[in-house]
């Protein structure tokens, strides 16, 4: 077996690195590696990575990944010696996502989930890099009667012709592209199906469940739940998910697909009550019919993640919600002023 070159620090590419999960991932990786963050801010924010821009082991590239990316040609990457060292790992998280303004980004979403994935895979082939793709729990469809948890071998059940097809089917098609490149080029590709994640740097005023609940509680407005008193979800704190992504990247080539998320089934009314308690809010809970094509995701079976990665979510819900509340308090006026 040929010897692999040893570098003081790996060169790691993170697409979508200025997003919610991506920025936390860059924050973790830059401790031990050179991190090249690629984003075009279509649904992310410079403020998420502002604290990293002064780090000599971090470089930001403003680029839309649906266009080819030639890392060798970028003078700002010369200090990472990309031409000589190449890229060792790629985390592909880039995908426009906005709950409230989803229709505004449909074309960008479907192109990112097809051409964008192909462009990133071409980079992986060029540098013989390991690649991890951030997929989604939406592939399992809505939870079914009598079935609460979903394992990686369960079939995907989504309607690709709904208004959300650009994202839902896009994620499934992305996985197919990844598997095809693995078969043809022998790439080491990892796929993480990520379940509902929350924490600081989530987009506020964008229709996301936990931020909306927190903002309503802070303003003493009704907390709206789509569904009835039995509506449920799982919640995994962002740093736990990032830890899982990092661990998955380090696994052998025969490990491909893993669920990452919390397997605790939470009633949304209980989550709302906890947020009201932590904020001292006088809000009420109000129920509304779910919007069309709403998916009430099931829970991840994380047996494989426990056995292979030694991973499980560690953040207590109360502590995670406190972090989300603190972030919302400090950012809601700044963000509301520019939307």
Q: Which residues are marked as active site? A: 167
> Would the CA dihedral through 242, 244, 250, 253 be positive or negative?
negative
Measured CA to CA, the distance from residue 168 to residue 113 in angstroms comes to 10
Residues 6+ apart with CB under 8 A from 1: none
Concatenating the DSSP letter of every residue in 281-330 gives ----EEEEPPPTT---B-EE--HHIIIII-----S-HHHHHHHHHHHHHH
Q: Return the structure tokens found at 247.
A: 């661990």
Residue of 158, 29, 167, 156 whose CA lies nearest to 108: 167
Residues 6+ apart with CB under 8 A from 202: 20, 208, 210, 211, 238, 324, 327
Measured CA to CA, the distance from residue 54 to residue 290 in angstroms comes to 44
Instruction: Classify residue 297 by its DSSP letter.
Output: B
Q: Return the structure tokens found at 8.
A: 């003081």
Contact (Cβ atoms closer than 8 angstroms) between residue 124 and residue 187: yes
Residue of 134, 137, 170, 168 whose CA lies nearest to 151: 137
Measured CA to CA, the distance from residue 336 to residue 325 in angstroms comes to 16
- Please count the CA atoms within 13 angstroms of the CA of 102 that sit on its side-chain side: 12
What pairing do the DSSP bridges indicate for beta strands 130-136 and 58-62? unpaired
Contact (Cβ atoms closer than 8 angstroms) between residue 18 and residue 60: yes
């Amino acid at each position: 077996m040929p010897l692999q070159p040893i570098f003081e620090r790996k060169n790691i590419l993170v697409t979508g690195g200025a997003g919610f999960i991506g920025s936390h991932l860059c924050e973790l990786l830059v401790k031990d590696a050179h991190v090249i963050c690629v984003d075009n801010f279509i649904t992310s924010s410079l403020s998420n990575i502002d604290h990293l821009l002064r780090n000599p082991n971090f470089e930001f590239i403003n680029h839309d990944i649906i266009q080819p990316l030639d890392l060798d040609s970028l003078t700002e990457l010369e200090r990472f010696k990309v031409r000589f060292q190449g890229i060792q790992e790629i985390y592909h998280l880039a995908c426009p996502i906005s709950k409230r303004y989803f229709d505004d980004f449909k074309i960008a979403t479907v192109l990112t989930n097809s051409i964008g994935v192909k462009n990133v895979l071409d980079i992986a082939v060029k540098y013989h890099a390991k690649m991890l793709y951030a997929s989604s729990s939406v592939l399992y469809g809505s939870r079914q009667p009598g079935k609460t948890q979903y394992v990686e071998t369960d079939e995907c059940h989504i309607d690709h012709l709904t208004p959300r097809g650009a994202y839902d089917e896009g994620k499934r098609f992305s996985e197919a592209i990844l598997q095809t490149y693995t078969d043809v080029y022998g790439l080491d590709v990892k796929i993480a199906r990520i379940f509902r994640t929350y924490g600081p740097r989530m987009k506020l005023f964008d229709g996301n469940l936990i931020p909306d609940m927190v903002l309503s509680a802070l303003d003493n407005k009704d907390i709206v739940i789509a569904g009835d008193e039995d509506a449920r979800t799982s919640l995994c704190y962002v740093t736990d998910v990032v830890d899982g992504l990092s661990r998955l990247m380090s696994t052998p080539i025969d490990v491909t697909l893993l669920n990452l998320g919390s397997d605790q089934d939470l009633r949304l009314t209980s989550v709302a009550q906890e947020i009201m308690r932590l904020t001292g809010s006088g809000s009420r809970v109000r129920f509304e019919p779910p919007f069309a094509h709403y998916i009430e995701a099931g829970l991840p079976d994380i047996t494989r993640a426990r056995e292979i990665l030694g991973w499980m979510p560690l953040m207590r819900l109360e502590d995670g919600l406190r972090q989300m509340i603190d972030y919302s308090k400090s950012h809601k006026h700044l963000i509301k002023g520019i939307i």
